[in-house]
Amino acid sequence: MTDEQSGWGKLLEGTLDIVTKYKLLDKLVERFFSEKAVVLLCGTSGVGKSQFIASLQDGVATPIPTTNRTRGWRKVKVTKEGRKLELLDTPGQVGEGALRRKAHLEALKAKRFGIINVVANGYHEGTASETSAIWLGEDGYDVRQEFLAINRQLEIENLAEWSVELLDAKWLVTLVNKADLWWKPHTYENVLRHYSNEGAYGEALNPWQGKHVVLPYASTSKPFYDRVPMSGFFGDAQRLACQVGALESLNELIDRGAAK
Ligand SMILES: Nc1nc2c(ncn2[C@@H]2O[C@H](COP(=O)(O)OP(=O)(O)O)[C@@H](O)[C@H]2O)c(=O)[nH]1
Ligand SMILES: [Mg+2]
């Protein structure tokens, strides 16, 4: 299968070799850190918020153990070569709304802040039991489709918690994480469309039109619940392309937000 057929033609095109791309990623991460920007991370439990932070620190982050959930909210001052970025990490569990609210108020105090809403096309890993998420078929482990559907719905319901209250944010990125699990040649466009302005997710974000961007991403690469294999269409080159693309967009949004 060619890159064109797998949907990677456009993202991988250009003359940049892999070393140049890694250097470019380093530069972009550095710039991202150079702004004293406040970024609020939203998203339900297990979508990969903490892993996203780790991916900014380490590039390819070591997977966080499934059972390791974030308790409370935390302000992460990530420093990269002396530069600072303040990230507000939130707990995603259903019962922890009050704690998330504290993080929201902290973001509002900053006046200029942006939101990264992390979603994962239903591949939430952590709070649900393994048996409710995956099953063992004749061809090996697979994810349960109803599990994905419930979680995609949860991602939409979760928007109501902040989509009105935090409308003052300068920008909003929907980071469609875990592309290593969901990216397939014939479905990736549907996944990205699901989060764009068509459909229930986009509708819920209607007031954000003009400042909402949807970006594919992968913070790490690991089998789902350590059992269901990755899609097979998403390797290091693809992850790098997504990371570069996401950092470019985030830098641009932070710059634009600061200018307003
Ligand atoms: N395959 C894969 N797993 C991921 C990715 N990002 C996070 N995970 C895993 O998903 C689980 C939940 O991630 P975590 O960052 O703790 O989620 P949080 O609750 O949103 O903070 C962990 O086991 C991570 O290693 C990704 O891009 N790909
Ligand atoms: Mg977390």
Mean pLDDT by 10 residues, the chain (260 residues): 56 61 73 69 92 78 75 70 67 84 88 91 94 96 98 96 94 97 94 89 93 94 96 91 87 74
Note whether residue 28 is domain-resident: no
Evaluate whether residue 223 is within a structural domain: yes
The pLDDT of residue 143 is 98
Q: Is 23 within a domain?
A: no
Confidence (pLDDT) at 48: 94
**Atom number, ligand 1, closest to the C-alpha of residue 92:** 19
pLDDT of residue 204: 95
- Residue 23 alpha carbon to ligand 2 centre in Å: 28
The pLDDT, as a whole number, for residue 59 is 61
21 within a domain of the structure (yes/no): no
**In whole angstroms, what is the distance from residue 67 CA to residue 240 CA?**
27
Q: Tell me the residue range of the domain where 202 lies.
A: 36-259
Pairing of the two strands 171-176 and 113-119: parallel
> For position 79, what pLDDT does the model report?
61
- At residue 244, the pLDDT reads 86
Atom of ligand 1 nearest to the CA of 123: 10
Ligand whose nearest atom lies closest to the CA of 67: 1
Asked whether residue 10 is domain-assigned, the answer is: no
Instruction: Please indicate, yes or no, if residue 4 is contained in any of the structural domains.
Output: no
Out of 73, 125, 134, mutate this one to test ligand 1's pocket (max ligand atoms within 8 Å of CB): namely 125
Residue 178: the pLDDT is 98
Q: Give the number of the ligand closest to the Cα of residue 42.
A: 1
| Nearest bound ligand to the CA of residue 93 | 1
Quote the pLDDT of residue 58. Answer: 65
At 42 the pLDDT is 93
Look up the CATH number of the domain holding residue 109.
Answer: 3.40.50.300
Domain count, the chain: 1
pLDDT for 31:
65
Mutation pick for ligand 1 pocket among 217, 222, 228, 240 (CB with most ligand atoms within 8 Å) = 222
The pTM score is: 0.87
Nearest CA to ligand 1 atom 13: 48
Show the ligand 1 pocket: residues with CB < 6 angstroms.
Answer: 43, 45-51, 63-64, 66, 69-70, 92, 118, 125-126, 177-178, 180-181, 218-222
In a domain, 145, yes or no: yes
Residue 187 is assigned to a structural domain of this protein = yes
Nearest CA to ligand 1 atom 12: 46
